[in-house]
Structure 1
């Protein structure tokens, strides 16, 4: 027998294109059936009613850039366990992200990721794989080891896609390195989203990459050429082109609140995708850890290498959403959209990231911003 419909009533709804005070979401058979003011939504007699008591209800958070959680590294066989743990942070879908290693190890780990994805693990939806490294600029390495860097080539695209059995969804690379520009059409032809990141691209190089098909920038502000008024770099190219979505980390460590306000003022919620860039140390106590051969330390809300380079984040998407609202001062509707609808649209996913009839019932009831009270994925409670 099908489960009874579930109605979240008296909620502060963020669809996220509009806010509905005292709203109701009705879900049945894994999908949203109705959304609107509580007084206007007619409920089936057998519906299970959950009184939200005026608390926020949003679509589930979608993380385009995540390396791990609670000691689980998504780059390999721990991916399934990470998917099971993410809903407790309000994340209902994500793109697991790789790390710079020697190529043979990368290819082996991609094969392991593909096996985990094809096993259809419980928990947050896995939307594909995000390649980040080794096709980066040695001028902007972040925590990665430049000894393993290689410019992106069409031949590398073929090798990686074969190892991942077609599950690659996004690819971060430095377009100015070697003949990487020539690889952009190969990514587009395979349905892979080209992403600029860890890049020292000039303005002209970034514009060329965008014209060839690049549509996102990885963790904007971080590990990229900074703005200069005589050479504005990829910074200005991304801000000025409405086709480009800028990923941004809002953990209170990577980017100053004023810079975040500036980014949202220029790009709007439709041009900014909140990401976590969470390391496997996210959710773990302070201490020293090893992350695929890299030594990192967690202290004072930061994950960093011994030389002080930030090594991902220790905050998940729920904390990033809270920071945007409570510390940056964004309207909650703007912040929620950047964490839900914008990432879904950037991947061409028509139904995810929104509360509307027909959409999958992926949603979060929040005790307060940053603290999920309950999470549903496909209409099933998972927290």
Structure 2
């Protein structure tokens, strides 16, 4: 059993500030017993300028420490106790809402770097509803509002391979957008169409293509302005004209991810040398690892000498310009990454990857692990057959197939379930597992500090968890957007002949 790792002797470096704020609130009458509200009484909207979380366990970057957290709702940012005190000193009428978490965990909001759709909406559906821009925006907003119940506060809306006219119509809707209304887009993940026809997965074969004119082909297919706003592009570097686009894409601040590819290990190293910094849903839609030829999976065990030329080519990715909110610049200094191995997405639903292979991948390169759901529009819907692009998908529980085949078509798993599965299958602590949906994806796409951490000055996107990792509440930019209600456990039931064990949804953790 993996324990939460809490330092019992931990004391906040700003303890004196905390005490000062508490004294100030007491004197101003703002911390009376009636202002400390229980979970059941917490309103979904608040007029308070400041929110003060107490009796919490702060989980950040793999650690868990008892503490408290201050949020400035006006700016939507995490603030220090000293800043909170300054705000109160300047205006003693400022309302402060104190929330007693009674030992629950505060995690940065989850990030899903590969989400194709959910709750009946598909990000690549240019004909959604009546086909109007307004209908698409309404569907997008509905997904964003409902997604937070899984702990996800930010995501990369993902488009599988499709056609030029579709990209040009839908991509303008999927640009990064900071919002307190629900989960927000961090920019699109373009999973195709520059993929290998030998590894199409469920992508429509007639949409897959090469790049005969290199980066100019990318600009033409996606639209030049749309390409500038892309966050991740999955590509098969062996396709004609594609390998040479990697340096250009990396210079634009795009995370280049290798996937749907038959590249061997040497080819993967070459792509990383040119600026690729991620692998898409490892094990799936790629050459399978073999002891004489490890393929893209082998990059998880690569030594720097195999990837060293990357230092002489282009940066692994250039971070996008920092966003400044309310006078705070949340972007940290550019990190020099000593380990040149790429990040890798992995789907931990017990269907795409066997639990033993999840364990192998995680322990091969724990600092590169990024959980993704790869969820499709039927996520959250009952079993049945659903339209998708030019094809149909058959949903059986949490399994999705191209209708009439046994080809897996994305997933229907929710991110909080994936986190708990990783705890069980990799035999790690919950704080370690939470890194794979917070710190790691934020670092992979260059937004760490603004997202994916509890750093002062970062967005107050917070997921409140029980000690066993169940989502209890979610805050977006300091405002509560989700309150859990009792719901039956969700179980994954692979077919009897699949050889896949049914995953345990939660693992008992030591309380504190």
Structure-to-structure mapping, 1:341-352, within 5 angstroms:
341-351=439-449, 352=451
* 1:168 partner SS: coil
1:231-269 deviation line (CA, Å, top 9, x unaligned): 22111124325330011111121111111111121101x
Q: Establish whether residue 107 from structure 1 lines up as the match of residue 107 from structure 2.
A: no
**Number of the residue aligned with 2:151:** 90
1:139-288 counterparts in 2 under 5 A? 139-152=198-211, 153-159=214-220, 160-162=222-224, 164=226, 166-240=228-302, 242-243=339-340, 244-268=342-366, 270-288=367-385
**Deviations 1:38-62 (Å, cap 9, x if unpaired)?**
xxx9x97953222222222211001
Q: Is the 8 A contact 1:250 1:323 kept in 2?
A: yes
1:5 alignment counterpart: 50
Q: CA deviation at 1:376?
A: 0.9
CA-CA distance at 1:13 after TM superposition = 2.2
Distance 2:226 2:56 in 1: 41
Distance in 1, matches of 2:177 and 2:470, equals 31
Higher strand share: 1
* Distance apart, 1:171 and its partner CA: 0.5
Q: Which residue of 1 aligns with 2:429?
A: 331
Confirm or deny: 8 A CA contact 1:34 1:356 kept in the other structure: no
2:452: which partner in 1?
353
> Do residues 33 (structure 1) and 79 (structure 2) align?
yes
Q: Tell me, what secondary structure is at the counterpart of 2:248? A: helix
**What SS class does the counterpart of residue 436 from structure 2 fall into?**
helix
Q: Which residues of structure 1 form unaligned runs of 5+?
A: 36-40
Secondary structure at the counterpart of residue 193 of structure 2: coil
SS of 1:97's partner is strand
SS in 2 for 1:26: strand
* Structure 1 residues 163 and 111: alpha-carbon distance in aligned structure 2, compared to 1, 3 A threshold: farther
Answering whether residue 81 of structure 2 is matched by residue 81 of structure 1, we say no
How far apart are the structure 2 equivalents of 1:91 and 1:112? 19
**What are structure 2's unaligned runs of at least 5 residues?**
1-45, 127-135, 304-338, 483-512
Give the Å deviation of 1:285. 1.0
Aligned length: 374
The 5 A counterparts of 1:269-308 are 270-305=367-402, 306-308=404-406
Tell whether 2:59 aligns with 1:14. Answer: yes
CA contact (8 A) 1:4 1:28 kept: yes
2:376 paired with 1:376: no
Structure 1 CA distance for aligned equivalents of residues 80 and 178 of structure 2: 32
Instruction: Pick closer, same or farther for the CA change 1:121–1:297 going to 2, 3 Å.
Output: farther
